[in-house]
Amino acid sequence: MSGLFKSKKARLNIPRLLLATIVLFVICFGLIVWKKADPPVSTQHKEWKDYGGGPDQSKFVDLKQITKSNVNQLEVAFVYPTNDNVAYRFNPIIVDNVMYVLAKNNSLVAIDATTGKELWIHANLRGIIQRGVNFWQSRDKKQKRLIIFLNNTMQAIDANTGKSIMKFGKNGYTDMREGLDRDPATIGRGTSTTPGHIFEDLILVGSAPGENPFSGPGHLRAYSVITGKMVWVFHTIPQPGEFGYDTWPKDAYKYVGGTNTWGDISVDEQRGIAYFPLGSPTYDYDGADRHGSNLYGNCILALNARTGKRLWHFQTVHHDLWDYDLTTAPQLITVIHDGKKVDAVAQPSKNGFLYVLNRVTGKPLWPIEERPVPKSDMPDEEVWPTQPFPTVVPPFNRQIVTVDDLNPYFTPEEKEKWTKRVQAAKAGLYQPLSDKYETITTPGAVGGANYGNSASDPDKGIVYIQTQELPDFYRLKLRMPSGQRGGGGGGFFADRMERAQKIYTQYCQTCHGANKNGVTGLGSDLLNLASRVNAEDFKTIIKTGKGRMAPLPHLEDAQIADLYAYLAPRQGGRGGQNANDTVRPSGPVVASGGVTVPPSRPGKNLDYPEGYTGPKALYVEANNWGVGVPNLLSPPWSLIVAYDLNKGAIKWKIPLGNDDKIPGSTNLSIPNGSQGKGMVVTSTGLLFATALDGRVYAYDADNGKILWVGELGRGNPGGIPAMYEARGRQYLVVCSVGGLKDKTKKESDVPKGYIVYALPKNK
C-alpha cells in the first residue's frame, strides 16, 4: 500500500511541476522580451537623424553599398531646388524615408528621401537657425517632433504634419533669453547658431550671445522636448559657491559675457555624458576686467546629460585673449593606448592643437605641458603665465608666421608689402595684443578647425579634421568714449559702424555706390538686399555671390555681420518680418511663420555693476577681427588632416580643394576653403568632403587619395553633407546653388539645391 501511495502522489505532482515550469518559462520569456524592448536598439551610424549625423557627431555611417571600387560611378539621383538661389548652411536629417531640409525663403520642408517629392512645407521661418534642426520621436514612433530655434525662441513642429505644436512652451514657444540669470531685456541673443542636440527627452543647447562687452552669459541648458520647460542650467561663468568661481573677479558673473557653446555638441548615449566645447569670455581681446584663468572659458566640458552636473573639464586656453574658441565637435573614439582599449575624446581647436583625453576622467592620454608665454604691455592686463601644449600629438596647422612662409604666387609688389608688415609685427601663438604694434597669429580667430570640421572612424580611433591656415594681424585701440557702452549701443556700436563703413568702401562701393543704391549697369540696391534677407542669408550671399555679384569668400563672419548691421534697417515685430515673410511658396504649404511671438527687443544698455572699482576693458581690436589674409602664406591654405590616435600621430595630410584661378595648379587647395564645410566617413573606407572650390570629393580614408569628384558650381557648397539609406539605396546629399564655372555650358546646366547622389540603380 505504501508503494502504491507513493506512486499516486508522484503522479499527482506531475501536473503541478509542469504548471510551475510553464509559469517560470513565461516569466523568464517575458523578462527577456521586456529587456530587449527597453531601451530600444541603437541605430547610431545607421541613420542620419541628428545634426552631424548622430549623437557622437562622428559623421560616420555604417552603410555598405558605396565602396572604393564603385564610388566613381556616383551620379545625380535627383535635385530638390531651394528656389531662392541660397546655398543654405543646413545639414539635412533623414528619418523613415523622409528628408527635412531648409529651402524656399527659409521654409522647413519635408520631402521623400528617394524622389524629392514634397510632403509638407512650413513656410517663411525667417530668423531660423540655418545650420540644422533637431528630430525627436517617441518610442512607438507615433509622436515625431522637430525642435527649431527661431530668432530668440525655441519652437516645436509636428514632423508628421509640419504644423506648430501650440502646447509646447508658452503659447507655442520658449523664450531663450530667459533662464540666464540676467535681465532678459539685456540679452541680445539667447540662441545658438547651431541647433543643439537631442538626448532622450531633452534638448541640450548652447548659445551665441555675441562678442560685445556685456554680452549675455553662455550658460548651458537642457529643456524638455515635450513641454519646452527648462530642466537644468549650468553656469559657465560660475556664481558664488560654485566650482571655478575663484578663477574670476568676484563680481564677474554679473557683467562678463560669452563663455558659450555656439558650435557642435557630442553625446555618449551609453554613459549619458554630454561634451560641450566652450568659447572665449568677452570681450575677446581685452581681459583687463576678468583677471584669472576664467573657467569655463575655452574648456571641453563633460556634463551629466540628465542633470547638468559637472563630471570633468579641461581648459585649452587660460584667460583667452585671441578668440581661440572651441567650436568643433568633440570626437568620441576608442583607441588602443598602452596596450589597452580606452574610450577617448579628441577635441580640435582654432589654435591648431588636438587635445586627446580619457572620455570618462578627462585625463590627457599623452602629457600636456604648461609652458610660459609672453607677458602683456597693456595697462591692467594680466596674461595667464602659462598655456597648455600637447607634447606628443602634433598640431594640424602652422602656428608661427615668418617671411619665409609668404605666398610664392605674390607679385613683387605684394611680396614687398607683406614682407615689411610681417617683419614689423610680433609673432607667436600666444603673443598678447597691443596698441603699440601689430601682432600676427596663425591660425587666427577664424583659422584652424571650426564648426562642422571634424569627423572620425570611432571604433578605429581615426580622427579627420578640416582646417584652414588663416593668419590675422591684430592691433588694439581705445574704444570711442561713451557714457553707456554695450547692449548694441553707445561706443561699441559706433566702433562697429566705423568698421563696417570701411568694409563697404573697400569691397562694395565700386558697384553699389556711395549711397548703397547701386551704380548704373553694375550693382543692385544693396540696401534692398539687406532688408529682404536675414543675417544668415546675407552672409551666404556675400560668401558665395549671387547673379552678377562676385563672391567675397575671404571676408570673415564678423566682418559680414558688421556689414549687415550697417546696411539692414532695424526691424520690429515677430523677428523683424517684412513682405517676404507673407509670400506663399509653391507646394503643399501647411503653415507659415512659426508661432506668433509678441514684439520684443533688448532695450537696456549695460555697464559694470554699481560699486565696481576694478579694472575695465577699454580696448577694442582695431583691424576688424584681425583682417584675416586668406592667401598670405604658402599653399595649401585649406587641408584635411587624418590622425591615428592609437599612435598619437598624423596619418596623412592633403590639400582641400583647388584654386582654379592659379594657372596649372592641381589640388592646391583654396583660401578659406574649409569654413563651415563638413565631411562624411563610411565603413567601406571612404571620406566625403566639400570645399569652397565648388566641388564634393570622395577620398580613400586610408591615404587621402581622391577617388571621385562631383562638380557643383562656383563658390559653393554650403553646410555639412549627409549620407543615408532609403528603400535599399544609399545616398549622399549636398546643398549647392553654385554659379557657372564652365563658360561652354548654360546656367541651367548647373544643378541648384539639395543635390542627391547615388549609384546607378542597376549597380
Q: How many CB atoms lie within 10 A of CB 598?
A: 8
**The pLDDT value given to residue 723:** 98
Over 510-575, what HEC string results?
A: HHHCCCCCCCCCCCCCHHHHHHHCCHHHHHHHHHHCECCECCCCCCCHHHHHHHHHHHCCCCCCCC
Confidence check: pLDDT of 21 > 70: no
302-320 pLDDT per residue, tens: 999 999 999 999 999 999 9
**The pLDDT value given to residue 1:** 44
- Report which DSSP code applies to 365: S
**The pLDDT value given to residue 670:** 73
**The pLDDT value given to residue 578:** 45
Among 457-461, 627-631, 664-668, 669-673, the range with the most confident prediction by mean pLDDT is 457-461
Q: Where are the alpha helices (DSSP H) in 242-400?
A: 252-255
Judge whether 406 and 448 are in contact, CB under 8 Å.
no
Confidence check: pLDDT of 450 > 60: yes
Q: Return the percentage of the chain with pLDDT > 70, whole number.
A: 81
Confidence check: pLDDT of 618 > 60: yes
**The pLDDT value given to residue 31:** 45
pLDDT band (50, 70, 90) for residue 20: low
Pairing of strands 589-592, 118-123: parallel
Average pLDDT for residues 368-375, to the nearest whole number?
98
CB neighbour list of residue 91: distance below 8 Å, 6 or more residues apart: 51, 52, 131, 132, 452, 678, 719, 720, 721, 722
Q: Return the percentage of the chain with pLDDT > 90, whole number.
A: 63
Average pLDDT for residues 43-64, to the nearest whole number?
94
**The pLDDT value given to residue 653:** 97
Looking only at Cα atoms, what is the longest distance across the chain?
Answer: 122
Judge whether 678 and 720 are in contact, CB under 8 Å.
yes
**The pLDDT value given to residue 714:** 75
Mean pLDDT in the chain? 86
**The pLDDT value given to residue 712:** 87
Confidence check: pLDDT of 701 > 90: yes
**The pLDDT value given to residue 554:** 54
Confidence check: pLDDT of 386 > 90: yes
Q: pTM here? A: 0.87
Judge whether 472 and 498 are in contact, CB under 8 Å.
no
**Of all residues in the chain, what percent are helix, strand and coil, respectively (each to 5)?**
15, 30, 55
Confidence check: pLDDT of 265 > 80: yes
**The pLDDT value given to residue 163:** 98
Average pLDDT for residues 24-29, to the nearest whole number?
51
- State which CATH number among 1.10.760.10, 1.10.3720.10, 3.10.129.10, 1.10.10.10 fits the domain covering 489-569: 1.10.760.10
Inter-CA distances, 275 with 455, 537, 636, Å: 15, 29, 31
Confidence check: pLDDT of 288 > 90: yes
Q: Which residues pair with 706 in a beta bridge?
A: 699
pLDDT band (50, 70, 90) for residue 527: low
**The pLDDT value given to residue 197:** 96
569-616 pLDDT per residue, tens: 543 333 334 445 668 899 999 999 999 998 766 556 688 999 999 999
pLDDT band (50, 70, 90) for residue 513: confident
Q: Which of 313-327, 496-510, 625-639 has the lowest mean pLDDT?
A: 496-510
- Compute the distance between CA of residue 28 and CA of residue 26 in angstroms, rounded to an integer: 6
Give, to the nearest 10 degrees, the angle between helix 557-567 and helix 535-544.
Answer: 120
Q: What are phi and psi of 345, to 5 degrees?
A: -130, 130
Judge whether 320 and 259 are in contact, CB under 8 Å.
no
Q: Which of 390-394, 710-714, 743-747 has the lowest mean pLDDT?
A: 743-747
71-97 pLDDT per residue, tens: 999 999 999 999 887 778 899 999 999
Instruction: Parse the chain into domains and list their residue ranges.
Output: 1-38, 489-569
Q: Which of 376-380, 615-619, 751-755 has the lowest mean pLDDT?
A: 751-755
CB neighbour list of residue 333: distance below 8 Å, 6 or more residues apart: 58, 343, 344, 345, 346, 456, 458, 459, 461, 462, 463, 645
Higher pLDDT, 478 or 762: 478
**The pLDDT value given to residue 580:** 54
Q: Which of 21-30, 141-150, 626-635 has the lowest mean pLDDT?
A: 21-30
- Among 739, 719, 687, smallest CA distance to 455 is for 687
99-120 pLDDT per residue, tens: 999 999 999 999 999 999 999 9
Confidence check: pLDDT of 699 > 70: yes
**The pLDDT value given to residue 65:** 98
